[in-house]
Copies of this chain bind each other. A is one copy, B any other.
Amino acid sequence: MPLSPDQQAEIDAQRAQSQPTLRATSPGIEAQLYRAHPVLDHGFVRVIDYMGDDAAITQAARVSYGRGTKSVQNDEGLIRYLMRHWHSTPFEMCELKLHVKLPVFVARQWIRHRTANVNEYSARYSVLDREFYIPAPEHLAAQSSINNQGRGATLEGDEAARVLETLKADSDRAYDHYEQMMGQEGQQGLARELARMNLPANVYTQWYWKVDLHNLFHFLRLRADPHAQYEIRVYAEVICDLVRDWVPLAYAAFEEYRLGAAQLSATGVQVVRRMLAGEEVTQETSGLTKREWAELMGVIG
């Protein structure tokens, strides 16, 4: 359970206070506001605030004076057109603010997306909690033998047990020593900004993360992808569900033209044309490397 009773009470209190507003609202995401959606063993994603809805995208694209009398079909068609033709600025007119609790090694991947606003819990100023990510046994994966940057089969038997035991014991010991070094009974107590360096990368941190919809889609396309590391992908998948609740038309366009879409290289286009013209094309005659051929077959096979 990632939340303490006090934290849950604060969330409940916020969900109990409704205010009138003249702004655009999205009922789907209002229903999710402030709730903690669990991710991994101690993490979560919470929606703290949002700006705009599907109509806000078309309103900006049209530089409108009002919400417009245009129909939903018109909005849908325009949103699909904008997504298909890489018009990014109308999607930037929606904004999402999340509170995320996540292991440090996931945070380090996440922060590489620079076009977002971040406030992270400060371990210079405050003491971190004793919370560490320990993978579920089914996610304890061996190094891939074919991909330097990936996972292979799940670890089995004794090896899995040894790894889990090591991760748990090292995390616990590191935290014990973290506390001992900072302790002020009978000693001065090491500065927090130094003591934190003893904590391993599976310790949990948390932050407020705010991003516009265009850049969020870019993040999701890379991080909800099967090639992304499992531990960040699960966050991306939870956020995908939240975005679908928030801006359903934009999310559907994102699925059609980004998540489920495929990119063909210039040579790949020629291969498809030759195949459709009835030619028997093989990797050798394709002009593609083996790896690219395999990728193309993954798309059109």
Contact = CB atoms under 8 A, between A and B. Distances in A.
A152 B189 CA distance: 10
B105 A197 contact: yes
A34 to B, nearest CB: 7
Interface residues of A, number: 137
A152 B191 contact: yes
A241 interface: no
A188 B60 CA distance: 31
Contacts of A162: 181
Copies of this chain, count:
4
Contacts of A130: none
A90 interface: yes
Interface of A: 3, 6-7, 9-11, 13-15, 17-25, 30, 33-34, 48-52, 56, 59-61, 63-68, 84-86, 89-90, 92-93, 95, 97, 99, 103-105, 108, 111-112, 114-115, 117-122, 124-126, 133, 135, 140-144, 148-153, 155-156, 159, 162-163, 166-167, 170, 173-174, 177, 180-182, 184, 187-194, 196-202, 206-208, 210, 212, 222, 227, 229, 255-257, 259-269, 272-273, 275-276, 292, 295, 299-301
